[in-house]
Amino acid sequence: MTHLSEEQLVDAYYRNSPEMPAHWNECPECRATFARLKEHLDAMRDYPVPVRGPSYGGEVWSRLLPHLPPARRKRVWFRWWTLAPVLVAVLVVAFVAGMLTERRVRVPTTPEKARERVLLIALSRHLERSQIVLSEIANGNAGSIDFPEERERARDLLDDNRLLRQTAARNGDAVDASLLDELERVLLDVANSPAEMTAGDFEALRSRIDSQGLLFKVRITSSDERFRGQKL
Amino acid sequence: MEWTDAAAAEEARKGNQQAFRVLVERHSHAVFRLAFRMSGNEQDAEDLVQETFLRAYKQLHRFDGRAAFGTWLYRICANCSLDLLRARKSRRESQPLEEKDDVRSWLDRVAAPEPSPERLTHSSQIMSLLGPALSRLSEMERAAFVLRHYEGCDIEEIARTLGVQANAAKHSVFRAVQKLRRALEPAWGVVR
């Protein structure tokens, strides 16, 4: 007598009205196996999900709204990200100063951790800045985007990106190195793009960012690394 | 005026953000539930909700109304979740977590669903094992299982969502069930 396979039983469980072969009616063993399977799968239905209140939809909307592509873009001369290179420079100076000080004075800290922390924060900030460039492109269209500005920003980011990618590779962090490599290729494309981009070129660039899920990966990694840096 | 999903999507496509707001407010809870089951992590689920609606907004021109808006949205959420699970998996492989911490933090994050006293012991034992067991599935198995078991999607729909053949989707669900039953053995005895 050939019993029903576990795969057949699982299949039957998910079809609400299992059409079992004749064997089903004749075999108490298969019915018992199915009853056990059903009990187990039913028990997994209670997977608890945190409760969200009735205003949750509104909260999601409030968080989402600033990220939606605006209908019309106004040119703003001063933007907060123009300070980003200065912040990175301060971070690098602080890091170097820390390294030099550490050689002269024995302080009761673990320099490895401090170094890692600085690197993680630098990486997180770099990714946040890159995220802005990617968002501008992903949410813009060839007519509205200020492309020379994006090119300049991409060029600024490239040097940091190379440095961080090499460091990640040297430290054996293959995941970050791979993401930075992927990011670098897109930044290179942006940095070397013509001043007047055709709608087709722009769309190709945008769909490349979209298809690779690059923006999302950059956002996740940025928040992960910031969190790791804060924990150290 | 009460918009249907299709009408709101059509309006949103024309640039009416208020129409998109209606869709966000209507589907946020369901998307969050799916995102949480996919990721097993509250903060990740919030990120996934945001990413899902953001992608949906940018891809509204691709929504042709043949499927329900909710189904289309869940498909986007499932894909975002796959991206996240893959990224998390790579990261986890490079930084292994303490399993005990994993279990505890998962339990800490979820709210108790007001269990009855008699169900509590058995159910809490299952739940304490289920979260970590789900996180040990491959991203494809987890996504297929969540869509089948919790969202009630059929195999063809899962295959379309995950971009695989129907057989592969079916097999992923089966493998997930096998692995989960094995992982939950301590809660219900030996599974034959």
Span B146-155, pLDDT tens digits: 999 998 889 9
Tell me whether residues B148 and A213 touch, CB distance under 8 A. no
Give residue B15's region: left, alpha or beta (phi > 0; psi -120 to 50): left
| Residue B51 to chain A, least CA–CA distance (Å) | 7
| Residue A101 to chain B, least CA–CA distance (Å) | 30
- Cα A183 to Cα A132, B83, B191, distances in angstroms: 13, 16, 47
Pick from B26, B58, B107, B121 the residue to mutate for testing the A interface (most A CBs within 10 Å): B58
Q: Which domains does chain B have, with CATH numbers?
A: 1-96 (1.10.1740.10), 99-187 (1.10.10.10)
B contacts of A138 (beta carbons < 8 Å): 58
Quote the CA–CA distance of B99 and B80 in Å, as a whole number.
25
pLDDT for the residue B48: 93
Could you tell me the two tokens for A73? 């873009």
Say which of B27, B111, B188 has its CB closest to residue A40: B188
pTM (two decimals): 0.61
Of A207, A80, A76, the closest CA to residue A137 belongs to: A207
Match 């945001």 to its residue by tokens.
B50
Q: Which residue of B has its CA nearest to A45?
A: B150
Which residues 61-80 of A are in CB contact (within 8 Å) with B? 61, 63-65, 67-69, 71
Domain residue spans in chain A?
A: 81-231
Greatest Cα-to-Cα distance within chain A, rounded to the nearest angstrom: 84
pLDDT for the residue A78: 53
Tell me whether residues A46 and B126 touch, CB distance under 8 A. yes
pLDDT for the residue A74: 43
* Number of A–B residue contacts, CB under 8 Å: 128
Q: What pLDDT, in 10s, does the model give residues B10-36?
A: 999 888 899 999 999 999 999 999 999
**What is the CA A28 to chain-centroid distance, rounded?**
51
Quote the CA–CA distance of A155 and A113 in Å, as a whole number.
30
pLDDT band of residue A80 (cuts 50, 70, 90) is low
Tell me whether residues B51 and A216 touch, CB distance under 8 A. yes
Mean pLDDT over B85-104 rounds to: 57
- Cα B141 to Cα A45, A77, B65, distances in angstroms: 17, 49, 29
Mean pLDDT over A222-226 rounds to: 83
- Cα B72 to Cα A7, A52, A176, B53, B183, distances in angstroms: 29, 22, 32, 11, 32
Could you tell me the two tokens for A192? 């070397």
Could you tell me the two tokens for A186? 């897109």
Mean pLDDT computed over every residue of chain A: 80
DSSP A174: H
Q: What pLDDT, in 10s, does the model give residues B47-59?
A: 999 999 999 998 8
Quote the CA–CA distance of A97 and A124 in Å, as a whole number.
21
| The length of chain A, given as a count of residues | 232
Helices (H), B95-148: 99-109, 117-135, 139-145
Measured on CA atoms in the order B101, B123, B143, A138, is the torsion positive or negative?
negative
Tell me whether residues B173 and A213 touch, CB distance under 8 A. no
Residue B49 exposed, middle or buried by CB count within 10 Å (0-12, 13-18, 19+)? buried
For residue B70, is pLDDT > 70? yes
pLDDT above 70 coverage of chain A, percent:
83
Of A90, A115, A113, the closest CA to residue A100 belongs to: A115
For residue B168, is pLDDT > 90? yes
Q: What pLDDT, in 10s, does the model give residues B110-165?
A: 444 454 555 556 677 888 888 889 989 998 899 999 999 998 889 998 998 888 89
Predicted-complex ipTM score: 0.79
